[in-house]
Amino acid sequence: MNRKYRKTVIAGNWKMNKTPSETKEFMTQLKAILPKGRWCDIALCVPAVCIPAAVRAMRETRVGIGAENCNPNPSGAYTGEISTAMLTDAGCKYVIIGHSERRAMGETDADVNAKVTAALDAGLIPIMCCGESLEQREADITEEWITTQIKLGLAGVSEERIRKVIIAYEPIWAIGTGRTATPEQAEDVCKLIRTVVRKLYNSKSARAISILYGGSMNDKNAYELLAQPDIDGGLIGGASLVPEKFVKIIEAANQPAV
């Protein structure tokens, strides 16, 4: 973390978990134990049908609600899809884009880029995900793969807007597996991402962008991961479903910043 130049962000990704009623229950529990300190931004990205309940419950708090996907088109014949304008109108502040689980369903880098652009146009903060598979890591092409994902995902995003983007590095082999990247492995790639942003934009932008780590981050390993200079927070799946665990990760972000 580096709080001097950029925000620390602890974001939950609920995936396809919890109903609207369960959302309400979770938010009540979370509110009761939410730390008062403001050392990081807090986001919870929830299933679309849970957004209204989450927004309502967190209205008077510092927790921003987000979606897990969006459609880049403004409106039209896209049955089952949700536009960025719908998300902002529903009270969303964030949207996860290009999660590996969605990429596995066919989402391309071009789709990711269109969604990032649409999210920024609508005033949403995109949390753009990237990450390599185990095969790619073992083939030693992580650097090349991540560089390509970042370049294609950010294509056409202006220098003024890049600061509004959050990037999440999520190695696919660490997601939901309990196999967390070591702090060194995670730091190496987050640092690489910052270098790519520096080359694409400039040092100021690279210094200002928040880069999160995701992949089996939990209440036990968060402190060490967040202690890395280029890891500015976490995108948390499983552990964000339990208020106590999520709060412990928020508390882990309250440490002397590098």
Positions annotated as catalytic residues are: 99, 170
Of 206 and 234, which has the nearer Cβ to ligand PGA? 234
Using a 10 angstrom Cβ sphere, with 0-12 exposed, 13-18 middle and 19 or more buried, the burial of residue 253 is buried
Of 180 and 205, which has the nearer Cβ to ligand PGA? 180
Tokens of 137: 């890591």
Of 201 and 219, which has the nearer Cβ to ligand PGA? 219
Tokens of 92: 């969303």
Give me the least distance between CB of 240 and ligand PGA, in Å please.
7
Closest CA to 59 of 24, 83, 85: 24
* Of residues 210-239, those binding ligand PGA (CB under 6 A): 214-217, 235-239
Tokens of 165: 């983007």
Give me the least distance between CB of 174 and ligand PGA, in Å please.
6
Give me the least distance between CB of 241 and ligand PGA, in Å please.
9
Does 98 help bind ligand PGA (rule: CB under 6 A)? no
First to last CA, the chain: 6
Q: Are 213 and 235 in contact (CB under 8 A)?
A: yes
Of 11 and 114, which has the nearer Cβ to ligand PGA? 11
Give me the least distance between CB of 46 and ligand PGA, in Å please.
13
* Of residues 164-183, those binding ligand PGA (CB under 6 A): 170, 175-176
Of 6 and 103, which has the nearer Cβ to ligand PGA? 103
How far is the C-alpha of 137 from the C-alpha of 215, rounded, in Å? 15
* Of residues 129-158, those binding ligand PGA (CB under 6 A): none
How far is the C-alpha of 240 from the C-alpha of 245, rounded, in Å? 7
Give me the least distance between CB of 217 and ligand PGA, in Å please.
6
Using a 10 angstrom Cβ sphere, with 0-12 exposed, 13-18 middle and 19 or more buried, the burial of residue 99 is buried
Runs of H (alpha helix) within the chain: 20-33, 51-58, 84-89, 100-103, 109-121, 134-138, 142-153, 159-162, 183-200, 203-208, 222-226, 243-252
Of 126 and 215, which has the nearer Cβ to ligand PGA? 215
Q: How many residues bind ligand PGA (CB under 6 A)?
A: 13
Give me the least distance between CB of 129 and ligand PGA, in Å please.
7
Using CB under 6 A as the criterion, what x/- string covers residues 12-31 for binding ligand PGA?
-x------------------
At position 197, the amino acid (one-letter code) is V
Which stretches of the chain bind ligand PGA, using CB under 6 A? 13, 170, 175-176, 214-217, 235-239
